[in-house]
Amino acid sequence: MGIPTIIDRLMGHAEQRPAATAFIILEDGEAVERRVSYQDVDGWVRTLAAQLSEQELYGKRVLLVYHDTLEFLLSFLACQYMGIIAVPVPFARGSRQMARLQHIMEDADVAAVLCAHFSIDQLRVGLSDYFKRCAIPIIATDVAYQTIDVPVNKKPRYHNTAFIQYTSGSTGKPKGVVITASNLLHNQALIRDTFGCDSQSVILSWLPFHHDMGLIGNILHTIYCGCTCILLAPIQFIQHPRRWLQAISRYEVTHSGGPNFAYDLCVDKIPAADLALLDLSSWKVAYNGSEPIRHDTLLRFAAHVGPAGFDAAAFKPCYGLAEATLLVTGHRQGQPPPVLYVQEARGPLGRILLSDASDNNARPVVSSGSILPGMEVRIVAPETARRCAVLEEGEICIGGPSVTEGYWNKDNDLFFYEFDNQRYLRTGDLGFLYNDQLFVNGRLTEMLIIRGRNVYPYDIEQLVEGCHEAIEHNGVAVFCINAARDQWVIVAEIRRSRIREIDPVTVMAAIDMAVTGMFGLSPADIVLTTPLGIPRTTSGKLQRVKCREEYLQGGFNVLAARSALADTQHRPGFAAGQLLQQVNDQSIRHYLLEVIGARVGWQGVNGVVDTTELTSIGIDSLRATEIVNLINKELGINIDIAKVLQHNSFSSLVNMIESMLWLKNEQTSGEQITI
């Protein structure tokens, strides 16, 4: 019979509980439902498998491109049944998505395309050049499995490779992760043991069905456990987030979750009055993964939906990725996720410096859980491949039975380390270990390196999001625009309700002042864009690499940009010559405001008083150096930049200029004096 597969689980449930409901598809996202039993799924899969067996596709890669979840699932399982290597991809719309699809088809060297009949013409047109070069069949599976009513009892033909999961492409061109049958079953057991799902559980998924969290964590886990899964499309949730909670209440869902942004979206878009009729007490596992987990999100969501019966103990932050099939770390039921407060500064060798909740300069970091049985996690210093100590940050590297042996058609030595005779995949994620818990900080390749200092885009994004009420929640992206990673840009989405009434200059000044005040750094540009204007993956993760491409190619829908305003915000300055003719406190202030305003924007200097900190109006160390150099050149004095940065107030700089000019006028030797 060969190695066990997910098909064995399906056939077992169909034999033991044929009438049990496997899936309930909410076709309108709310009331119109379609129920499918395990007997239905098993019969349709056998029928379709028999049809596909005639195509001689055993051991070959086949592209699966569907709009409908059920049609995709049946094709995916039929491939497992017949030893065909499935390559799931999102349904393609537009030229860019078609280009990505073509890259995957070429990389995987697919032998056929499976889809619904209505997609055939669209694919032939969108990929016409490819199909002219590669004469491969396009097979409409929805027609095939519906043509026979009686299940075909064709013997399964297993293959060691279950499918190839192409990454979302959030950090570059998608790579094909090779997932074996044993990878899949090992990870399914980890998910079951961690989150406690069984045949009586009810799962709900609105996540994309072609990618790891939706496919493996929800749809295939339903078949693995023999339970019931409620399905609605991602767009149905995005359009009306209340549908998610409404379905949890209606079907007494026990397991459901998503990326961090989904919980924020519920708080922002669902009025408290809409929660009054809901009962969320059945919700036992609310997992949170795929992107950085925000402590304030957990608090906000629990407070917002608590009156509807949600128990905050249901939160289960976790860490996973396609390269590990899915799950790597997680919190078992009954374990609240630990929260650490860490300082923005780092100690030697990237050591994490702990603080507490009373420290305003510390930020909370939520644990992604403990390392699951059989899995190995090692934190490695990227520059030296040295194993990091506890509370020392580095690249997260993983090993174990769930971890892929490599990417399809790639030189996999580039993606693995070997320690103690075991291979560890380099995830590209940054994190640290503490008390056997994993804390994730972001992506190594997305790190900003500014004047020798490592800065996380995520930290800046969080700060910017809260600096002005017009900025969309989870609507900020920070990314590099040069190879050295020291030139960076902030893009912020503006709430739809505020687009017509905001003053863009005020918003950009608030962003600049917040970032400079906290980090002492200033971006190369600030861009304000429309809601959903920032590129994201289908699971909601920011695509910072794609943001860079959009920015450099002018692809953003720009409401306003600081770089564009720079040329239109000029006003006549108070010349240095005027100041030297009449030196007094007022003229120095006037001159200094003109010099600063020319560099940070005139809006930035409005409201400046004696106690205003220079960093709070967008003057980082680089800008301060430029300003001081200009002042020294124009006024013929020699102010020490170190003292400007040390005192960091408008009045102190005014006083320095005044003292230097007085000394210049009083001295008789002609030598400059440094103050």
What's residue 294's pLDDT? 87
In the numeric block, the tokens 């999100």 are attached to: 297
Residue 406 pLDDT class (50, 70, 90 cuts): very high
Residue 37 has pLDDT above 90, yes or no: yes
Residue 369 near residue 386, CB atoms below 8 Å: no
Write the DSSP string, 110-173: -SEEEE-GGGHHHHHHHTHHHHHH----EEEHHHHHHS--SPP-PPP---SEEEEEE---TTSS
% of the chain beyond a pLDDT of 90: 51
Instruction: Decide: helix, strand or coil at residue 196.
Output: coil
| pTM assigned to the model | 0.74
Task: Compute the average pLDDT of residues 602-621.
Answer: 71
Residue 280 has pLDDT above 70, yes or no: yes
Out of 226-230, 284-288, 418-422, pick the least confident: 418-422
| 114, burial (CB in 10 Å: exposed 0-12, middle 13-18, buried 19+) | buried
> Cα–Cα distance between 671 and 675 in angstroms, integer?
13
Residue 140 has pLDDT above 90, yes or no: yes
Task: Compute the average pLDDT of residues 194-200.
Answer: 96
> Cα–Cα distance between 469 and 477 in angstroms, integer?
17
Residue 571 has pLDDT above 80, yes or no: no
> Cα–Cα distance between 78 and 84 in angstroms, integer?
8
- Which tens digits make up the pLDDT trace of 109-139? 999 999 999 899 989 998 998 999 998 999 9
Higher pLDDT, residue 666 or 283: 283
> Cα–Cα distance between 205 and 218 in angstroms, integer?
6
Residue 84 near residue 7, CB atoms below 8 Å: no
Task: Compute the average pLDDT of residues 587-593.
Answer: 85
Kind of pairing, strands 176-180 and 202-205?
unpaired
> Cα–Cα distance between 370 and 475 in angstroms, integer?
30
Q: What is the CATH number of domain 448-565?
A: 3.30.300.30
Q: Strands of 211-326 (E only): list them.
A: 228-231, 255-258, 285-288, 315-317, 319-320
Neighbours of 361 (CB within 10 A): 10
CATH architecture of 576-666: Orthogonal Bundle (1.10)
What's residue 88's pLDDT? 96
What's residue 274's pLDDT? 93
Task: Compute the average pLDDT of residues 263-287.
Answer: 94
Task: Compute the average pLDDT of residues 294-300.
Answer: 91
Out of 310-324, 447-461, 525-539, 632-646, pick the least confident: 447-461
Higher pLDDT, residue 623 or 284: 284
Residue 225 pLDDT class (50, 70, 90 cuts): very high
Helical H segments across 401-483, by residue range:
457-465
- Which tens digits make up the pLDDT trace of 422-446? 999 999 888 999 999 999 987 777 7
> Cα–Cα distance between 539 and 531 in angstroms, integer?
17
Torsions phi, psi of 518, nearest 5?
-85, -45
Higher pLDDT, residue 460 or 303: 303
Residue 567 has pLDDT above 60, yes or no: no
**Three-class secondary structure assignment of 554-620:** CCCCEEEEHHHHCCCCCCCCCCHHHHHHCCCHHHHHHHHHHHHHHHHCHHHHCCCCCCCEHHHHCCC
Task: Compute the average pLDDT of residues 465-481.
Answer: 90
Q: Closest by alpha carbon to 297, among 286, 309, 285?
A: 286
Contacts of 419 (CB under 8 A, 6+ apart): 378, 387
% of the chain beyond a pLDDT of 70: 88
Write the DSSP string, 250-264: HHT--EEEE-HHHHH
As beta bridge partners, residue 169 has none
As beta bridge partners, residue 263 has none
As beta bridge partners, residue 489 has 479, 525
Neighbours of 153 (CB within 10 A): 7
Task: Compute the average pLDDT of residues 95-121.
Answer: 90
Q: Closest by alpha carbon to 515, among 450, 602, 442, 446?
A: 450
Task: Compute the average pLDDT of residues 25-39.
Answer: 93
Higher pLDDT, residue 84 or 589: 84
Name the residue ranges covered by the structural domains of the chain: 448-565, 576-666
CA neighbours within 13 Å on the CB side: how many for 352? 25
pLDDT, the chain, mean? 86
Residue 180 has pLDDT above 50, yes or no: yes
Q: State which amino acid sits at residue 167.
A: T
What's residue 441's pLDDT? 83
Neighbours of 143 (CB within 10 A): 11
Neighbours of 435 (CB within 10 A): 11
Residue 511 near residue 526, CB atoms below 8 Å: yes
Residue 553 has pLDDT above 80, yes or no: yes
What's residue 621's pLDDT? 63
The single-letter DSSP state of residue 372 is P
What's residue 185's pLDDT? 96
The single-letter DSSP state of residue 349 is G
Task: Compute the average pLDDT of residues 276-299.
Answer: 91
Q: State which amino acid sits at residue 181.
A: A
What's residue 667's pLDDT? 61
Distances (CA, A) of 442 to 234, 322, 349, 429, 661: 25, 16, 18, 6, 49
Distances (CA, A) of 619 to 3, 151, 523, 644: 64, 72, 11, 11
Residue 173 has pLDDT above 70, yes or no: no
What's residue 576's pLDDT? 77
What's residue 539's pLDDT? 64
- Which tens digits make up the pLDDT trace of 330-347? 987 676 788 999 987 777
As beta bridge partners, residue 320 has 327
> Cα–Cα distance between 138 and 144 in angstroms, integer?
12
Residue 674 has pLDDT above 60, yes or no: no
Residue 564 has pLDDT above 90, yes or no: no
Task: Report helix angle 38-53 to 6-16, nearest 10.
Answer: 130
As beta bridge partners, residue 490 has 478, 526
